Amino acid sequence: MTDRLSARAFLALLTDDFTELPHPPGTPEPDGPLGWHGYDAARARAAGRTGEEESVVCGTGHVLGTPAVFLAFEFGFLGGSLGRRTGDRLEAAYAHARERRLPVVPLVATGGSRMQEGMLALTQLQRVARQSALTRAAGLPQIAVLRDPATGGGWATLGAGADVVLALPGAQVGFAGSRVRPPDADPAAYTAEAQVAAGSADAVVPSGELRGTLGRWLRLLTAPSDDPAPVPAPLGARDLPETGWDAVRRARSPERPRAGAYLDAYFTHRVALSGDRCGGADPDGMLCGFGEHAGRTVAYAAQTGRATRPAGYRTAARLIRLADRLGVPVLTLVDTPGAANDAAAERQGAGAAIADLFTAVASVSTPVTTLVIGEGGSGGALALAAPGSTWATPDSYFSVIAPESAAAILKRPPEQVEATADQLRLRPQDLAELGVIRTGDQLFPGTGDRRP
């Protein structure tokens, strides 16, 4: 059973306090803008059941000390549907958020647009989309919480249009509501869990953990900083490799620390961003999110040592652009033998996804810091690296392509792979001499800081 609390009860569950915003002025027309017979009676019954005059309650409150504007839908009022008066309230709340420089938290529980107001109800989605876009342009985060149900235009604007999407377990989530789906549709596809798997939502959070999770997200996304993220200290070998093949062998060692160990050591706490918002996720190949390091927020995108899939590159690009808009520095960790190169990856747009990540890293204003912690395999690794601000650990390598592939391209026999690795000059010290990476005492003792 998913959450069935009223809007105000759900607000009480999440917030330290809550103050409702004044309602925009205006008097509803008799039976609404279409003169729909019985509409007034339906609204009166809904008001009697819920104690509300509309399907959304808007106001300000704090979550673990961080202030925000809340847009809480009351599903008991005509299925949480959006009508013209709903749009008035949402527009006023978004404007209040921009005026006060507050994040926006939609608590979505809606079946979509209100039938009794026809196209005038549907066009409220355009109003909401514009308000969301203006809020995004103002550099303010939007964190949606999906209750049950979150369907129709409410999901497609307030929900899926948010920067971060959290959902309650088992919540019904999808553009098509339960009464308008094909009769043979798989109901499991219209759940919060399915939306996370498809990359359209970031996490499923039990109601008992939601306040803490939302509080962490709000605190992290409202703490901009102009300073670059510090370079993490190496967790593995401290001596430099003697040969190119030694560098490759060390980077591929199963004992070498991976991204999870670096993130755990670097951050006091962190929250994960998941999914490319295009139908895919790569949770095993790319870790993205925001965390606290030395008292300030740092965003991260970290490869895990596996071949990165297109959804992973798109998720990283999404993370970097969000951090840029919020003024948060970024740390990227490079560790991949290369981009996934199977047929499925090509069908999923591998080239376009990598190109988009290159563009994101090249175009953002927020500082990006990169540490190569393992394998740096070709363009699939380089796309995540910040030009002029990349370091490498002693147990890593970075190469135009893996030595085995280089030997194959050059039509060399397998016994020449190790010699090819030397010729590629892929060791950390080689990369420093070539001006590809920066050096520093924390990674190369006694070298000082040398920039590419």
What sign for the dihedral angle of Cα 123, 25, 109, 45?
negative
What sign for the dihedral angle of Cα 270, 271, 276, 281?
positive
CB atoms inside a 10 Å sphere around CB 2 = 17
The residue-averaged pLDDT of 199-209 equals: 95
pTM above 0.85, yes or no: yes
Phi, psi of 55 (to 5 degrees): -85, 5
The residue-averaged pLDDT of 339-349 equals: 95
pLDDT score of 368 more than 50: yes
Span 253-312, pLDDT tens digits? 999 999 999 999 999 999 999 999 999 999 999 999 999 999 999 999 999 999 999 999
pLDDT at 1: 40
pLDDT score of 445 more than 60: no
Q: What's the CA dihedral at 206, 211, 217, 218 to 10 degrees?
A: 150
pLDDT score of 45 more than 90: yes
How far apart are alpha carbons 281 and 287 in whole angstroms? 10
CB 6 within 8 A of CB 76: yes
CB 331 within 8 A of CB 298: yes
360: confidence class by pLDDT, cuts 50, 70, 90: very high
What element of type H or E holds 243?
none
Span 428-444, pLDDT tens digits? 999 999 999 987 655 65
How far apart are alpha carbons 230 and 298 in whole angstroms? 9
pLDDT at 2: 47
